Structure 1
């Protein structure tokens, strides 16, 4: 299992715009559509990665806990589906249904969105404030498959709470670690 770290896009970066197809509804969804009043979480995830499988239930809990407070959420899969057919839109639909994803699960066929966000791994998390400026990027928490630490979403939850409570964000944000994005050749 490859262990790739986030590239840690510079804080303050404006959220790159996108319009992609939701694998569940087959509708086009844009950044504007998922933008939250308080902030927006963009997650690069996929179906086959053990790191994503490890945190799927917590992603659903976080989204359910925070979307009612004014945050928008979106999952984006940018993997090459020729080499990794388990990440195809049909499998995305199954994964989203199986886990009851409360967020759109978008397919980045051209991989241009992943490149615009400088995404490197799955999962990779980006939290933007109400002005779509990057305030947090990095790990969900310290849990990894097999390390025995429970999944609790501590780092991302803290960043979301900091926005809600008008507190400054931590300066020592840890990169996410996961499978590398499966780039097309």
Structure 2
């Protein structure tokens, strides 16, 4: 095992280890983020009805995946992102869940525009700065949603990262 002190460093190393044969595209990472956000949204129904400890553990895992995917996009594009929670007493839980899906959709639309320009296709454009702002909004929403359920998203993300590396026999880990 190779342990890295930060999630950013570990994600950079794991991308090399995991994707050595076929590097992942920006679109791949964007689709991955959309899928993880969809899995968070699927948990909304369970949390709204009769949640149990497994539901909250699954939410922590999926929000961790959202953070990991967001970092992967940042690495791929060379931008900086930072997550933190905002006070959210006045925002309903359902608004936070819907907001995460909407925020991810905005980021994915920007990725589409960046790739359109790279491919030389006509259509509207976006900038890396717009993507950075959108990804930061995704992280703020994810951290705020995690805080609503007393989830330590930093710890959950590190645990999920290491669990995935172990599952697929990868050597890259992040320190707890």
TM-score by length of 1: 0.33
Bigger share in strand:
1
Q: Larger Cα Rg: Structure 1 or Structure 2? A: 2
Query: TM-score normalised to the size of structure 2?
Result: 0.34
Q: Which has the higher helix share?
A: 2
